[in-house]
Chains A and B, each alone.
Chain A
Amino acid sequence: MKHVGSIAGREVRALFVSPVAYCVLSLFAIIAGFLFVAHVRAFDEWVIRYQQMQAFEQLSELNLNDHVIMLFLQSMTVVLLFAVPALTMGLFAAEKANGTQELLLTSPLTIWDIVLGKFFAGAIFVLLLGTIVGAFPALLFAYGDPEPLRTLSGLLGLVLVGLTYVAIGVFASSLTRSQIVAFLLSFAILFVLFLLPALAELDLAGSAWLGDFLRWLSTETHLQDLLKGLVDTQHLAYFAVMIAAFLVLTKASVESVRWR
C-alpha cells in the first residue's frame, strides 16, 4: 500500500488544475455564507420578537448552538449531496476515458493502492470543505459564547457525512466511464440514503425491524446525535462501516475490469 500517496497526490493536483475544484469550492463557500447569514438573521428576529413579547422564558432557551450552528451544519450536509458527487465523479470515470486505467492496472500497484488513493484525494477535499464551513461558526465565538465542544462535534458529523459521501462517489465513479453518469449515480444513491428516515416513517412494510434498519442505514440519523454533541462510538462505527463497505465494493468493481 505504499503507493496510496502517489495516487492521492496526483488526484488532488488534477482536481486543482481543473475548473471543477474551484467551481465546487466557490459555490460551496457562497452557499455556506448565504445560509449562515439566513440562520443568524432568523435567530436575531426570534430574539427581538421574544423581547417584544416579554417572553423571557423562551428567550432564555434560545441559544446559538441549537438555533444557529446546528441548523447551519445540517443544511450544509444537504449541500454536500451535490458538492461531493461533483468532486468524485471523475476519480475513476476520467481514468477510463483517458485510457490511463490501463497504465494503473499494468503497474506494480495493488487495487487497494488505487482505491484508497482516490478515496484520500476526495477526503482531503472534504476536509477543505469542512474548514470553509467551520469558519462561519468560528465567527460566532467572537460575538457570542456557543459551546466549543458541541460545535466541534457537529463539524465532525459534517466531515464524517462528507467522507461517507466520498466513498459512495468513488464507488459510483468506478462503475462507468462517463463523468455525468457517475455524478447522477452517486447523487441518486446519496439522495435515497438521505430520504431513508422519511421512508421509514411511511412504514410501508409494516415491520418495525425494517423501519429501524432503514433509519440506521441513513446518515441523517447518526448526524443528528453528533449535531447535538453526542459523540457515541455507535455513530463512529456506523460511518466506519459505511466507508469500508463502499470501498470494498469499489475494489470489486475495479477488479472486475480484469475479469470481464
Chain B
Amino acid sequence: MIEARHLSKHYGEIAAVRDVSFQVGRGEVVGFLGPNGAGKTTTMRMLTGFLPPSDGTALIAEHDIFGDPIAARRAVGYLPETLPLYPEMSVRTYLEFVARIKDVPRGGLRSSVERAMERCGLEHMARRVIGALSRGFRQRVGLAQAIVHDPAVLILDEPTVGLDPLQVREIRKLIRDLASPQAGQTQHTVILSTHILPEVEAICRRVILMSRGRKVVDAPLEELVRGGRTLDEIFVRETARDDVEAEAS
C-alpha cells in the first residue's frame, strides 16, 4: 500500500531525512517513532505529497507521488500536526467541503460525511461551529476530515497530542477500528507518528524508529519486545547510539 524508496529531504546543508525506505502492506498499523526533529513529520509530508523529496520517491496505493500525484493524493487521508480546520465553518459544511475537494462523487457526498461523522462520534456536533468546539472534538473533526473520502492510506501525525486520557483512549480505539473494520467498511492502512511509547504498544503492530533523519529500527512490535525488553529501552538505546556515532564521525 505504501512504499517509500530512498526518500531524502535536504534543506540547504541540513539533511532532514536521509535515504529512508520501507514498505507497508494493506491493513498494517505502523508506528512512526523518534525524538523530536528525527524527520517523522518530514517523511510523512513527503508521503502525502505536501513536500517533494529531494531524492527518492514513494508509491501510495501503486501511484507514484511524482508520476501521478493527483491519484496518489486521492488515496491518502492526512491528519497534519496542526489541525487543518476552518474555525468559522460548521462541522458538516467543513466535511462536505473536504469531501468535495477530495473527489468524492456528488451523489455520495452526504453519505460519506454522515459516515465519517458517525465513525468519529460527531453525529451530535454536525451543526456546531468548529471554532467553538473543545480540543478533543476538534481532533475528531481532524480525523473525520482524513477519512471522509474513504482513503486506502491514512497518515496521522501525532493524532492524540493535547487530549485528555479518556479522549486518547477513544481516538486509539477509533484508529484500531479503522485498520480492522467490520464487514462492508474499507480496511485502511495506517501510519501514525508519536513520541508516546505506550501509544505504539496500544495500537501498532509494527514500529519504525527514526533518529537524525535515518530509519534505525523497522520490526514487528512482538519481535522487539521479545525477551522482556521494553520499547522504552529500545528507544533510548537506539537514539543514544546514533548520537554517539554522530559525534564520532
Contact status B82-A99, CB under 8 Å: yes
In the complex, what residues of B have CB within 8 A of residue A260's CB?
11
A3 vs B74: C-alpha distance when bound (angstroms): 14
Q: Given contacts A104-B101, A107-B73, list 16 more A-B pairs with CB under 8 A.
A: A6-B100, A7-B101, A13-B93, A14-B86, A14-B89, A17-B88, A99-B80, A99-B85, A102-B78, A103-B78, A106-B48, A106-B76, A108-B73, A108-B102, A108-B103, A110-B70
Q: For B49, give its contact among A100, A101, A105 (CB under 8 Å).
A: A105
Residues of A within 8 A of B80 (CB): 99, 102-103, 106
Interface string of B88-108 (1 = CB under 8 A from A): 110001000110111100000
How far, in angstroms, from A105 to B97 measured CA to CA in the complex? 14
Do B73 and A106 touch across chains, with their CB atoms under 8 A apart?
Answer: yes
Q: How far is the CA of A96 from the CA of B74 in the complex (A)?
A: 22
Q: Is A10 an interface residue (CB 8 A)?
A: yes
Contact B76 A103 (CB under 8 A): no
**A3-46 interface (Cβ within 8 A of B):** 3, 6-7, 10, 13-14, 17-18
Are A98 and B84 within 8 A (Cβ)?
Answer: yes
Q: Is the CB of A99 within 8 A of B52?
A: no
Contacts of B160 in A (CB 8 A): none
Q: How many residues of B contact A (CB 8 A)?
A: 30
B-contact 0/1 string along A93-122, CB 8 Å cutoff: 000001111111111111001000000000
Q: In the complex, which residues of chain A have a beta carbon less than 8 angstroms from the beta carbon of B97? A: 6, 10
Residues of A within 8 A of B11 (CB): 260
Residues in chain B within 8 A of chain A (CB atoms): 11, 45, 48-52, 70-71, 73-74, 76, 78, 80, 82-89, 93, 97-98, 100-103, 145
In this complex, what residue of A is CB-closest to B145? A103
A85 to chain B minimum Cβ distance, whole angstroms, is 20
Task: Decide if A18 touches B88 in the complex (CB within 8 Å).
Answer: yes
In the complex where A7-B101, A258-B51 touch, is A106 in contact with B78 (Cβ < 8 A)? Answer: yes
Please, which residue of chain B has its CB at the minimum distance from the CB of A94? B86
The yes or no answer to A209 lying at the interface (CB within 8 A) is no
- Tally of contacts, chain A with chain B, CB under 8 A: 69
Shortest CB-to-CB span from B141 to chain A, Å, is 12
- Inter-chain CA distance A10–B94, complex, in Å, is 9
Residue count of chain A within 8 Å CB distance of chain B: 25
Residue of A nearest to B84 (CB): A103
Closest to B72 in A: A108
Q: Are B88 and A14 within 8 A (Cβ)? A: yes
A259: Cβ under 8 A from any B Cβ? yes
In contact, B50 and A106 (Cβ under 8 angstroms) = yes
Smallest Cβ distance from B126 to chain A, in angstroms? 17
* A6 neighbours in B (Cβ, 8 Å): 97, 100-101
B127 shortest CB reach to chain A, Å: 14
Question: With a CB–CB cut-off of 8 A, which chain B residues contact A99?
Answer: 80, 82-85
Given contacts A18-B88, A99-B80, whether A109 and B51 have CB atoms under 8 Å apart is no
- Docked complex Cα distance between A108 and B89 (Å): 21
Q: Which residue of B lies closest to A258 (CB)?
A: B52
Query: How far apart are the CA atoms of A7 and B80 in the complex, in Å?
Result: 20
B101 touches A107 (CB 8 A): yes
Query: Can you give 5 A-B contacts (C-beta < 8 A)?
Result: A7-B101, A13-B89, A14-B86, A108-B101, A259-B52
The chain A residue sitting closest to B97, CB to CB, is: A10
Contact partners of A113 in chain B: CB under 8 A: 101
Evaluate contact between B84 and A100: CB separation under 8 angstroms. Answer: yes
A106 vs B11: C-alpha distance in the bound complex, in angstroms? Answer: 20
| CB-based contact B102/A102 at 8 Å | no
Contact across chains for B86 and A98 when beta carbons are under 8 A apart: yes
Instruction: Give the contacting residue for B102; candidates A10, A13, A98, A107; CB below 8 A.
Output: A107
Residue numbers in A under 8 Å from B145 (CB-CB): 103
Q: Is the CB of A3 within 8 A of B101?
A: yes
Q: By the criterion CB–CB under 8 Å, are A98 and B87 in contact?
A: yes
Whole-angstrom distance between the alpha carbons of A104 and B48 in the complex?
A: 11
Distance between Cα atoms of A113 and B103 in the complex (Å): 13
> Is the Cβ of A108 less than 8 Å from the Cβ of B74?
yes
